[in-house]
Chains A and B, each alone.
Chain A
Amino acid sequence: MTAHSFSLPKANGAAGVLSGPLPVQVSDVTFRYAGSQALALENVSLSVLPRERLGILGPNGGGKSTLLKVMLGLLPAPVGSTVRLFGESPLAARRSGKVGYVPQRSEAESSFPLSVRQVITLAASWRLAPWQRPGAELRARIDSLIELVGVREVADRPIGALSGGQMQRTLIARALAPQPRLLVLDEPTVGIDAVGQAQFAELLTSVHRTLDLTVLIVSHDLRAIAAGCDRVACLSRRLHSHTSPQGLTPQVLAELFSHDVAGLIGREQLGGMHVHAHGPDECCPAPAETLRSSDDRGEGRGGAQVP
């Protein structure tokens, strides 16, 4: 499989139909950390359409976090590359509140003495002048977000008292509070149980439908990607593949995850299968099963069709 860029379907002229700049446009990113010999990213190009839901799937150490940081301007864009969010530099897009971000749950201080409502409000109110209090419009928006993500019952509880799923919903509401146009989720299903993951998929679909956002999910977990994405980009240093979730063949997954696949889907589920040598006619039951389970929940994203 050769590396290639992941861009707009130019043949049908989609770019011409869409007005305004693309939510995400990344071209020719090759990144190496200082002091490291190995490339973290190699010649990665990626575009995301307005209102699209794109999943970036890849193994641990495959460069997902690096790409995310470059994309958001948290790492400097390498010389010769282009990184634009809504036609602006990532810094300008972040400063103008166009980007909402849901971190891995473990990165926020779960013991912090803030209530759910305070956490969500803070994301929208931190730009206010110190002497200004959140106005009625802002408070109404926060209330509707609390309602949308389903944390009304716990809205005034300290965040330390929340379950993993409730905390994730709170962080999603926080990301939406500044009214972003792009929602970025980093490993959203880490530490969430099966029920929470099903609810997450439902919530993401509901948020996407209600707020008409562009959504970008970065994960090593197939379930997170399959449950809520229109397209999938597979990243392991290079961008290996791009497809709809239905097009994630066992061959693609086996090549993408190589040694990581056993850890990803569980050795017991692998059942002794050799993941390196999948041909197009072989099946990889665990990912297919995983994807099918999301389909059974009525997410409408389809399962991985075993060739």
Chain B
Amino acid sequence: MKLLEYFTSADAFSLILAPLLAGLCVAVLCAVLSVLVVLKRLAFVGQGVSHSAFGGIGLAAVASVLAIIVAGPGSTLATVLGQGAAGEFAIIVGFCIAAALGMSAVGQGGGRAGSDSAARGGVRVDTGIGLFLVGSMAAGALLMQYAGALARSRGLSEPARSWESILFGSLVTANMADVQITAIVMVCSLLTLWLCRRPVLFYAFDETSAPVFGVPVRAVRTLMMVLLAVATVTAMKVCGVVLATALLVVPGAIALKLSRRVWSVMALSVVCAVASVLAGLGLSIELDAQTGPCIVLVLCAGFALCTLANWVRGLGYTSAARLAASSNGGRGLGT
């Protein structure tokens, strides 16, 4: 087994240590948020934000080339804005936060699908998300093309980010710098969420009533969008643009099938996400396949298993009820 080799050799283990740690940090952060994403039906917002990252990646590519042109290759500015550096991460996160807040603002102006305000000529939430999604992707494609052209015209090497790694992630290439960024993001995000847990829960449970009780709903909504954008960009490292939403949806969906207690749901969601990252990483090493898709497939398999288990359990209840009815001489369930 290839996987065993990584655990029996210190050199080999050091190769997967950074991907493992980065993956676990992302899993824990996304798992906690995914419960709120599922309950608030924000999955499409997550999808919109993750695809908006294209625009951020394009912008970061242009900024990186400009930094080399202005400050010279090897300069501090060029290093900070280089691929995988903190500056690039900040630009992508900033772009995604702007997109997320834009989607939220459009949703507030337009209302939900079928609502009065939508009928009065506003843009519906899903339409707004779709607009930001395609607009950002188009802008990202053009900006990346422009960055390449700019680099060529100055005789520099083109930005080397592959489309495959953007789309499906490149967890195995994560290094300790990535681990630091993901760990800091995870700790800051979870701490913020813990500090604001009560207003966030109130908002998530009943957004309509929350402002009447004095909950600052606009601030809480903005916070949610910022956290969602940050988590999405962090998850992109693991699963890529296309699959980043999976970590923000599926763990919460699985956990909500298993429990109806909010803190148990959170804990189960974390367990599911961590298990799927471990299993997905192991699977990708064994099969020599891409890590992101492996993790997502493990998550989906987990969801399917839970659905099946619930269905079988439901069948069990139905059979028991039928049995009770027949033993009751067909007089119903003894009510």
User: Chain A interface (Cβ within 8 Å of chain B)?
Assistant: 33-36, 72, 74, 94-97, 99-101, 103, 107-109, 111-115, 118-119, 122-123, 125-128, 130, 158, 160-161, 178, 184
Please tell me if the beta carbons of A122 and B198 are within 8 angstroms of each other in the complex.
yes
| Residues on the B chain within 8 Å of A127, using CB | 214
Please tell me if the beta carbons of A101 and B204 are within 8 angstroms of each other in the complex.
no
Q: Nearest Cβ in chain A — how far from B314, in angstroms?
A: 15
Q: Can you list 14 contacts pairing A with B, beta carbon distance less than 8 Å?
A: A33-B117, A35-B121, A95-B214, A97-B213, A99-B213, A100-B213, A101-B212, A103-B209, A109-B39, A109-B205, A113-B264, A115-B261, A118-B262, A130-B195
Q: Nearest Cβ in chain A — how far from B266, in angstroms?
A: 9
Supply 17 further A-B pairs (C-beta < 8 A) apart from A107-B206, A114-B262.
A34-B120, A36-B120, A74-B211, A95-B214, A103-B208, A108-B205, A108-B206, A112-B205, A113-B259, A113-B260, A113-B262, A119-B205, A126-B198, A126-B202, A130-B197, A158-B260, A178-B214
Closest CB pairs A-B (n = 4): A158-B260, A101-B212, A126-B198, A108-B206
Instruction: State whether the Cβ of B15 lies closer than 8 Å to any Cβ in chain A.
Output: no
B196, B260, B264 — which one has the most chain A CB atoms within 10 A of its CB? B260
Instruction: Find residues 176-216 in chain B having any chain A CB closer than 8 Å to their own CB.
Output: 194-199, 201-202, 204-206, 208-209, 211-215
B195, B201, B202, B212 — which one has the most chain A CB atoms within 10 A of its CB? B212
| Residues on the B chain within 8 Å of A107, using CB | 206, 208-209
Give CA–CA (A128, B198) in the complex, Å. Answer: 9
| Residues on the B chain within 8 Å of A35, using CB | 120-121
Please tell me if the beta carbons of B198 and A125 are within 8 angstroms of each other in the complex.
yes
Give CA–CA (A130, B117) in the complex, Å. Answer: 35
Q: Nearest Cβ in chain A — how far from B116, in angstroms?
A: 8
Instruction: Find residues 1-50 in chain B having any chain A CB closer than 8 Å to their own CB.
Output: 39
| Residues on the A chain within 8 Å of B260, using CB | 113, 158, 160-161
Please tell me if the beta carbons of B205 and A126 are within 8 angstroms of each other in the complex.
no
Instruction: State whether the Cβ of B256 lies closer than 8 Å to any Cβ in chain A.
Output: yes
Please tell me if the beta carbons of B214 and A94 are within 8 angstroms of each other in the complex.
yes
Please tell me if the beta carbons of A112 and B199 are within 8 angstroms of each other in the complex.
no
User: Chain B interface (Cβ within 8 Å of chain A)?
Assistant: 39, 116-117, 120-121, 194-199, 201-202, 204-206, 208-209, 211-215, 256, 259-262, 264-265
Nearest chain A residue, comparing its CB with the CB of B199: A126
Give CA–CA (A107, B205) in the complex, Å. Answer: 9
| Residues on the B chain within 8 Å of A101, using CB | 209, 212-213
Nearest chain A residue, comparing its CB with the CB of B265: A113
Q: Nearest Cβ in chain B — how far from A64, in angstroms?
A: 13
| Residues on the A chain within 8 Å of B206, using CB | 103, 107-109
Q: Nearest Cβ in chain A — how far from B51, in angstroms?
A: 27
Please tell me if the beta carbons of A113 and B214 are within 8 angstroms of each other in the complex.
no
Give CA–CA (A103, B207) in the complex, Å. Answer: 11
| Residues on the B chain within 8 Å of A74, using CB | 211-212
| Residues on the B chain within 8 Å of A103, using CB | 206, 208-209
| Residues on the A chain within 8 Å of B202, using CB | 122-123, 126
Give CA–CA (A155, B39) in the complex, Å. Answer: 22
Please tell me if the beta carbons of B212 and A123 are within 8 angstroms of each other in the complex.
no
| Residues on the A chain within 8 Å of B259, using CB | 113
Please tell me if the beta carbons of B197 and A33 are within 8 angstroms of each other in the complex.
no
Give CA–CA (A119, B261) in the complex, Å. Answer: 12
| Residues on the B chain within 8 Å of A119, using CB | 205
B120, B121, B195, B208 — which one has the most chain A CB atoms within 10 A of its CB? B208
Give CA–CA (A24, B231) in the complex, Å. Answer: 44
Give CA–CA (A239, B199) in the complex, Å. Answer: 36
| Residues on the B chain within 8 Å of A111, using CB | 39, 256
Give CA–CA (A178, B215) in the complex, Å. Answer: 12
